[in-house]
Chain A
Amino acid sequence: MSHSHAQPLPAPPGRLTLPAPVRGLAALLAAAGAAALAWAFSRGETGLAWSAYLIGAFFALGLGVFGVAWLAILSLARGDWAVTMRRPTEAMTAWLLPGGLLTLAVGLGMHSLYHWSHPEVVATDALLAHKAPFLNPAMFWSLTAASLALWALFAARLVAISRRQDREGGIAASRATRTLSAVFLVVFALTFSAVSFYLLLSLDAHWFSTMFAVLVFTDVVQTGVAFLAVVAGLLVASRKLEGFLNENHLHAIGKMVFAWTGFWAYIYFCQYMLIWYANLPEETVYFLRRADNGWLPYLLVLPLVKFAIPFLLLLPRAAKRNPRVLVPVSGLVLFAQFWELYVMVGPAIGHGGEAAHGHLPVVELAVTLGFLGLFTLVFGWALARQEAVPLKEPALAACLDYHA
């Protein structure tokens, strides 16, 4: 608003480092996750172990790829309000290289996860044989690896341009970011669909849903903005970015968590209602499997934790501006993402053999928290590598003046 009277910038905050207790907790979670995974493998429960690994790996991968997608979207939409949250967003993308490799390792367990990976099953299954040109191990490895590599490359390039702006300032870097962002979003739409099909949709290889990629995209953005809201809330509460980040910025990111929570419900219900209405056996199998074998309670908890509770808690304006409300509610949204992945993956394990039964996801949660711990360590490392605020970004003044 006030372009005419430039205010003096607040004192630069320097670099942000994760507090030692947070780093310790993250390392502890990572170790506990690895132990839980090793325990499941040592008991010979490979289905459980690999499903837990897939849930955790995809949970963290979603946070990483959200970082690049969010940078691109904000650049194209001129989201000036988020300039002082750019460093945390960039730090989230640092996960794409280690996290991409860890996600690719899901392929090592494909025989426990994806029944289309067994040639002898495909030979006797007309539907799987029909889908075999797409659903086969060679395509799984190559398309997934190529997609993950492209994400990491685009992320590295976007961050490199941002670093150049830190040194040189000026508008050229903003322009270069916009061009690259437009290209990336096209690449992202295609590669993200492929990755979500291979890693998650193909768990139910007979089933198909035209809404699946957009549902997983919604999951990833809802979870990503929730993670950013936690970071921004803690930064505001601890006054680490005094003068650069205030309750107006919290209000904006809180509105994002709120909006994507509503959008998730819209997409998930659309998928459910279309399947319910058409009542085709090859589609209803998805929800029948998740209503059977003790899975129904887990399915019914999902709309509560992922929509109803966060929606109602974030509805008041004051809730979005207060870190003491925004941070725990965003934490609940992160937990709900784990829950949704559990309801997606868990019931699909054990095709051909005995179907998996609904159970309290103890190992799955431990492994996911382990991945979150690892992600947090990489995030903290990347965050501490440069100034906490892009001081030479031309839109910084507009961000500091932002009113929600």
Chain B
Amino acid sequence: MMPISTKGVLGHFCEPDEALAAAAKVRDAGWKHFDFLTPFPIHGMEEAMGQKRSWIPWATGALALGGILFAQGLQNYVMVFDWPMNFGGKPFAAWPSFVPITFEAMVFWAALGSALVAVIAGKRDTVPQPPPMLVETGATVDRFALWISATDPKWNAAEAEAFVRSLGAHGVRLVDAEGGNDA
């Protein structure tokens, strides 16, 4: 029996390719609560991990529409109702002159809003139990760490450890709440 405080199993790879190949194997073996800690984003990792497409583009689209409505509403209110002014004999609601502001507001809302949504979603959407901080400092430099959380439905500490080792990972170990070794 492993101690109750076990949070998960950790191992690392030295090449992004190996991490990518391992991710597909972890996914195919049916693990759900796992994550990779890598120094840089690896192309194709979402797919290899079996993650669904992000819903953030929908937020971007909604924010873009919001920016358009905001800019159109503001310009039409100010330029037509609140303080109409004559510019070069153009109509008050001169739509071509509203286009640049509408475009800029759309980009501004969509870009800043998406960044904000991504930060909030990134905090929420990780594995139910991420590894303790600083458990694998190499993951910020040159290592590609695999983490399988003990919350996984098919969790069994001995099996999980053996599985990660079978992937060819280095430094495989069970980790407790303080980030120390269990074994």
Contact = CB atoms under 8 A, between A and B. Distances in A.
B88 A2 contact: no
B99 A5 contact: no
B42 interface: yes
A276 B94 CA distance: 10
B15 A4 contact: yes
A403 to B, nearest CB: 4
A160 interface: no
Nearest to A401: B43
B16 A272 contact: no
B43 A5 contact: no
B96 interface: yes
Interface string B40-53: 00111000000001
Interface string A257-274: 000000000000100110
Given A279-B88, A403-B44, A2 B96 contact: no
Contact of B99 (A1, A2, A273, A279): A273
A2 B97 contact: no
Contacts of A317: 53, 57
B44 A4 contact: no
A273 B97 contact: yes
Given A277-B88, A403-B43, A1 B16 contact: yes
Contacts of B43: 1, 403
Interface string A363-400: 00000000000000000000000000000000000000
Contacts of A1: 16-17, 42-44
A5 B15 contact: yes
Contacts of B20: 2
Contacts of B16: 1-2
Given A1-B42, A5-B17, A277 B99 contact: no
Contacts of B96: 269, 272-273, 276-277
Interface residues of A, number: 12
B77 to A, nearest CB: 22
Interface in B1-34: 15-17, 20
Contacts of B17: 1-2, 4-5
Contacts of B44: 1, 403
B99 A269 contact: yes
Nearest to A279: B88
B171 to A, nearest CB: 20
Interface string B83-96: 00000100000001
Interface in B49-67: 53, 57
A310 to B, nearest CB: 17
Contacts of A272: 96
Contacts of A4: 15, 17
A273 B43 CA distance: 41
A4 B17 CA distance: 8
A403 B44 CA distance: 7
A220 to B, nearest CB: 24
Given A1-B43, A403-B43, A277 B97 contact: yes
Interface string B80-121: 000000001000000011011000000000000000000000
Interface of A: 1-2, 4-5, 269, 272-273, 276-277, 279, 317, 403
8 contacts: A2-B17, A4-B15, A5-B15, A5-B17, A273-B100, A277-B97, A403-B43, A403-B44
Given A5-B17, A277-B96, A403-B44, 9 more contacts: A1-B16, A2-B17, A4-B17, A5-B15, A269-B96, A269-B99, A273-B99, A277-B97, A317-B53
